[in-house]
Amino acid sequence: MNNIDYFMLARVFHVIAVVTWIGGVAFVTTVLIPSLKNMRDENHKLDLFEQLEGQFGVQAKVATLVTGISGIYMLAFMDAWDRYLHIQYWWLHLMTFIWAIFTLVLFVLEPWFLHRWFKEQTLKNSEKAFELLHKMHIILLSLSLLAIFGAVAGAHGFQF
Ligand code: HEM
């Protein structure tokens, strides 16, 4: 295999990781949280959310790592670091920003305090807590879809 093949493989793994990761975020945002919001049994609701989101957390962590490593490899291969200096590559800035937020939440904030904090909020006011959770997911999903839109167009020659 030559270097071009490694570059192509990095792109393949980048896209597969993004699909499994952002696809999962889309499912949680448009299916899981709305269904939980309609559930009446409060204890069961939190249990179910923790179980399902916990299971997805492992997948999201692996996907975040693969996305980051393959993305940095592609930048290094193309020696395209200076794209960060040009506003027409806003989609690269947005991809990196989304990656940094998810990395921070999954690897630092959630194990540190977010998990416990959310549980406390649901005990105080479950409806408000799930509403806030839904809003945050909608914002992150919208930004991710915008980054995907920009990245696919930009990577295939569209000049913004
Ligand atoms: C550290 C974080 C990231 C870095 C360094 C990075 C870097 C890159 C690079 C260098 C490319 C190839 C651009 C080109 O061929 O001109 C790319 C493509 C792409 N990235 Fe990222 N990326 C990162 C995170 C993300 C995230 C979080 C998403 C999803 C929200 C994403 C989605 C995509 C998509 C859809 C493509 C286009 C693939 C194609 O159509 O060929 N990336 N990325």
133 CA to middle of ligand 1, Å?
26
The separation between the first and the last C-alpha atoms of the chain, rounded to the nearest angstrom, is: 34
Does residue 96's CB lie within 6 angstroms of at least one atom of ligand 1? yes
Give residue 97's domain range. Answer: 3-154
Say if 24 falls within a structural domain.
Answer: yes
Say if 73 falls within a structural domain.
Answer: yes
Say if 160 falls within a structural domain.
Answer: no
Write the pLDDT tens digit of every residue in 51-88. Answer: 998 899 999 999 999 999 999 999 999 999 999 999 99
Does residue 67's CB lie within 6 angstroms of at least one atom of ligand 1? yes
Overall number of domains in the chain: 1
Say if 39 falls within a structural domain.
Answer: yes
Say if 29 falls within a structural domain.
Answer: yes
Which is nearest to 94 in space by CA: 160, 40, 157? 160
Write the pLDDT tens digit of every residue in 2-42. Answer: 888 999 999 999 999 999 999 999 999 999 999 999 988 88
Interval 136-147 mean pLDDT: 98
Give the pLDDT of residue 3.
86
Q: List the residue whose alpha carbon is closest to atom 17 of ligand 1.
A: 71
Say if 76 falls within a structural domain.
Answer: yes
Does residue 147's CB lie within 6 angstroms of at least one atom of ligand 1? yes
DSSP string, 29-91: IIIIHHHHHT---HHHHHHHHHHHHHHHHHHHHHHHHHHHHHHHHHHHHHT-GGGGG-GGGHH
Considering the entire predicted model, what is its pTM? 0.95
98 CA to middle of ligand 1, Å?
11
CA dihedral of 151, 152, 154, 158, whole degrees rounded to 10: -150
